[in-house]
Amino acid sequence: MLSNTKILAIDPGYGRLGIAVLENTSLLYSDCFETSKELSHGERLKALGQELQKVIKKYKPEVLAIEKLFWGSNAKTALAVAEARGVILYEASCANLIIREFSPAEIKIAVTGHGRSTKVQIIKMIPKIITISKEIKHDDEYDAIAIGLTCEATRFIENS
C-alpha cells in the first residue's frame, strides 16, 4: 500500500453501519449510518449502497477495511449482516478498492494489544491513537475507526 493511502473502514451492519475514512492515522470522516425500520429489506440494502457510493465518491479511498462476519447466536441478524456485507463488497469492487478483512480478535490486538479486549477498552484506547474532534454517539462508529486503524497498522507488516 502507498504511504498516503485513504482507507474506507466499515463496521458492517444492517440497521447501523459504522463508517470511517482514515489517511495516515488521521480521521478524515466518521459516521454511523442508520437505515429506517420503515423501509423494506431491499430498500434498506439499497440505502446502504447509496451511502457508500457517496462516501467513496467524496473521499476517493483506495482500500476498504471491513470486519469479518462473526456468527453469533442470532442467525436472522447474521444473515442480514451478511447481505449488508455483500452490498458493501459489491460497492467496493465497483470502485476498484483493495479489500482487506479483519477478524474481531485482529482488531482488538491492533488497537489494545490484547485479543480479548472489551468494547469499553477499545473505545477508551482509540482517542489515544487518533484525534477525534467530534462527538461519537454509537459504538458502530468507534468500531469502524478501530477497523481502519487495524488496516493502517497492518500495512507496515505487509510491506516489510
Active-site positions? Answer: 11, 67, 140
**Does residue 144 contact residue 20 with C-beta atoms inside 8 Å?**
yes
Residues 6+ apart with CB under 8 A from 156: none
**Does residue 9 contact residue 65 with C-beta atoms inside 8 Å?**
yes
What is the distance between the alpha carbons of residues 86 and 122, in angstroms, rounded to a whole number?
A: 26
Can you tell me which residue has the cell 473502514? 9
Distance of CA 131 to the CA centre of its chain: 17
**Does residue 88 contact residue 69 with C-beta atoms inside 8 Å?**
no
Q: What is the DSSP letter of 37?
A: T
